[in-house]
Structure formats: C-alpha cells, structure tokens
Amino acid sequence: MTEVISDIVILGGGMVGMAIANQLIEHDKHLSIAVIDKEPEIGRHSSGRNSGVLHAGIYYPPKTLKANVCVQGAKRLRAWCESEGLPVLACGKVIVPQTAELDGQLELLLERGRANGAEVKLIDEEKFLELVPDGHTASSRALWSPSTCVVKPKLVLKRLEQRLKERGVRFIVGAQLDAVNPQARQLRVSQLGDTTTTFTYGFLFNAAGLQADRVARAFGLGECCTLLPFKGIYWQLHPRAPFNFRTNLYPVPDLHVPFLGVHVTPSPDGTVSLGPTAIPALGRENYRGFEGIEPLMAIQFMGDLASQWWRNAGGFRRYAREQALHGIKPLFLKAAQALVPGLRSEHLIPSQKVGIRAQLYDRRAGELVQDFRLEHGHSSTHVLNAISPAFTASFALADLILDQSSLFSN
C-alpha cells in the first residue's frame, strides 16, 4: 500500500474538477493537488460528451448560482481557448418560439438575459431569416445572442489537463474509491494491478459528476438527493443535406423543467448536430443498448418519475409526453421540424455523440433541482447537480465553489 499526503484531493477529472484545480493554483501555486478519476483517461463522461456550446446566461433566474457564474464563466473559457489556440466557432445563437403561444416567453428570456449581464436582443423575422435561412419561427420575431460560441470539449479538456500537469497537478486515473474517513481526512483508492493508495488530504472537493451524490453520501451528506440519468442522443446532419447552418438554433424552452429541447448546433469542425434528447436512461453510464444498465437504480428511477408524473409539478406530464419519447427517430424528427420545416428523415444520420445528464432529484421536496447545489462537510465541499451550464461556467463556478468552501477562511 502506498501512502500519499496531499494538500488538496479532487474527486473527478471533468471540467469542473480541473477548473477547481486551476483556480487553486492561481490562488497558491505551492499547493500539492491530486485529481482522482475512476476512468483510465479524463473526459469519458459528461464533460467530454458536452455539446461544446458556451451558453450566454439567458435561461437562468437572476441571483441563482447558474445566473451568477454563466456570463463571466463563458467569457473566461472562451478567452482561455483563444489564448491556447483552440478552435472557437463564434456563431451566436437564435432562440425561437415553436408555437405562437410561446412568443411571450421571449420577453421573459430577454429580461433574464439582461439581468444576468448577457448580450441579447430581439430581432424581427427578416433578420432571423438572414441568420437562419432554413429555420422557422412561429411568430414575427426571435431572440439573438451574438456572444454564444461553440468549442470542442475534448480538446479543451486535454489541453487543460496538460497545463495542470505542467504546473505540478498529479492525476491518478483508473482509480476506484474504496473507503473514506472524513474525520481523519483520508481515503483509499485502488487501481489496476491491485495497487492501493491511501491519501491523507487537507481539503477534498467532490466533483464526480454522475457519481457525485454517491460520493457525498459516503461523507454523510446529500442523503435526501439522488442523481437521475437522462440520456442525450444526437443526430448529425448529412453532409449532403440542403442546409447551411451558421448559428445555433434553439427552441424556447419549457422553463419549468431543466431541459432545453432539441436544437441545432454547428461545430468548429464543420459538422452540424441536432439534439439532444432527454430520455430516461437505465444506468448512469447507459450510453448505448444494454451497456451500463443498473437494474436497481432503474427501478428506483422509474419510481421517482412516477412520483413526478403524479405530482405534475411544473407540468412534468407535458415533458413526459413531449420529450421522453424523442429516442424514437420519427418523433425526434417531428420535434426538429418545428425549427427546420424542410428537414427529412434522410437528412439525419446517427451521431457518435451520446451523453448522460446527471439531473439531481430532491426526494424530500419531490422535485428536480434546477440550480447547482453545493454540500459542505468536514474539510470537504461536494458539487452536486453540475449540469449545464457547468462546462460553460467552469472557471467562474470554480471560484464560487472556493469562495463557499471553508478552505481559505483562516
């Protein structure tokens, strides 16, 4: 058994975990930091499967954690990518109502965006068609976010990992968490080849994404919460499809549920994706077919969904009817045609991009948690519900996490 003493241990090598490491080094370059991830390489889950859209901060109610960090986080991540020479597609985003009844939501989104410091404005149908010639708006106007851009998540993750290693951060990958002793500030992990390491830490950050609630419970926290996995499947626009999308095209979302609906996203590499879905998954890593299925979790998940259906909080039944079946191509196509009427089935080809949204559910309150949630324990901070816009906001979110932890209180 190997014993390691580290000032900081970070569980989870995704974008949030690495952003925490980066901001810690900015605060004190002499800190010893260990990032521990259960996969053999970083970016295997939510961060690496992200759409790459750096969101503008339009959707979130003012003064929420998401609203507080999204705008500045997007600016900082974009500037960092540009300084590193990583591809950034400065394409903007258009948000349109799919029905005339949703037109009034544009004002709400405009007010939220401006209150959050986002650059956003209403445009008329002529300007909309200039930006999205193949798109459709059910009213005479749309919402335009010129600062929204798109990056390549895996390139961002690999470059940030490289820069952190250069600054002395230690990465331990392929490591399973075996045991924790919060009072002694110790944890034990095992790697392939039966290598066991005991870490004694000064402070621990749990940024384990899909597994963050399970890690938190090992520390005696978050007992009332569980992460529900929703599968995000994408389709890709066929290269010979008769469309030319130069900007993101999003529908007005149902603000009662934490999903943005099927949308169109161009990539810096020239491909165009449509999606994602938000369908219940049978495991936290159930990306395709029967892989990663967790039978007990799936049964509990179905029970939680049934409870939401019964309560119908925020019109959850509408979500179930409109969103949960988008894994069926004809129904997905119908949703996409609300934005792109000329889209046909032959224009869509399967995409390799599949993600899992780790949506936090508060069983005590009986509701899906919309905002980020932080839980604080003995010399530890646990980042729960690190869903969109966590990737976008990562650097600013890391600063907020450090501010709210007790790490630098003395």
Flag the least confident range among 2-16, 104-118, 337-351, 356-370. Answer: 356-370
Give 96 or 324, the one with higher predicted confidence.
Answer: 96
Give 304 or 114, the one with higher predicted confidence.
Answer: 114
What mean pLDDT is predicted for residues 263-269? 96
The pLDDT of residue 332 is 92
Percent of the chain with pLDDT over 90: 82
Task: Map out the domains of the chain with their CATH numbers.
Answer: 1-52+152-224+368-410 (3.50.50.60)
Beta bridge partners, 235, equal: 274, 350
The pLDDT of residue 120 is 97
Percent of the chain with pLDDT over 70: 97
- Please say whether the beta carbons of 405 and 204 come within 8 A: no
189 Cβ contact partners less than 8 Å away, ≥ 6 residues apart = 36, 172, 175, 176, 177, 178, 196, 197, 199
C-alpha to C-alpha distances, 155 to 152, 351, 391, 409, nearest whole angstrom: 6, 18, 13, 35
The pLDDT of residue 247 is 97
The pLDDT of residue 259 is 77
pLDDT at 101 over 60: yes
pLDDT at 161 over 80: yes
The pLDDT of residue 308 is 80
- Report the relative pairing of strands 248-251 and 53-54 from DSSP bridges: unpaired
Residues 43-74 have pLDDT tens digits of 999 999 999 999 999 999 999 999 999 999 99
Flag the least confident range among 9-13, 173-177, 257-261. Answer: 257-261
pLDDT at 410 over 60: no
The pLDDT of residue 67 is 97
* Nearest residue to 272 via CA among 315, 239, 231: 239
The pLDDT of residue 201 is 98
The pLDDT of residue 193 is 67
C-alpha to C-alpha distances, 186 to 32, 43, 179, 375, nearest whole angstrom: 15, 26, 8, 18
Residues 194-232 have pLDDT tens digits of 789 999 999 999 999 999 999 999 999 999 999 999 999
Q: What's the mean per-residue pLDDT of the chain? A: 93
pTM of the predicted model, to two decimals?
0.95
The pLDDT of residue 409 is 63
Flag the least confident range among 21-30, 182-191, 355-364, 388-397. Answer: 355-364
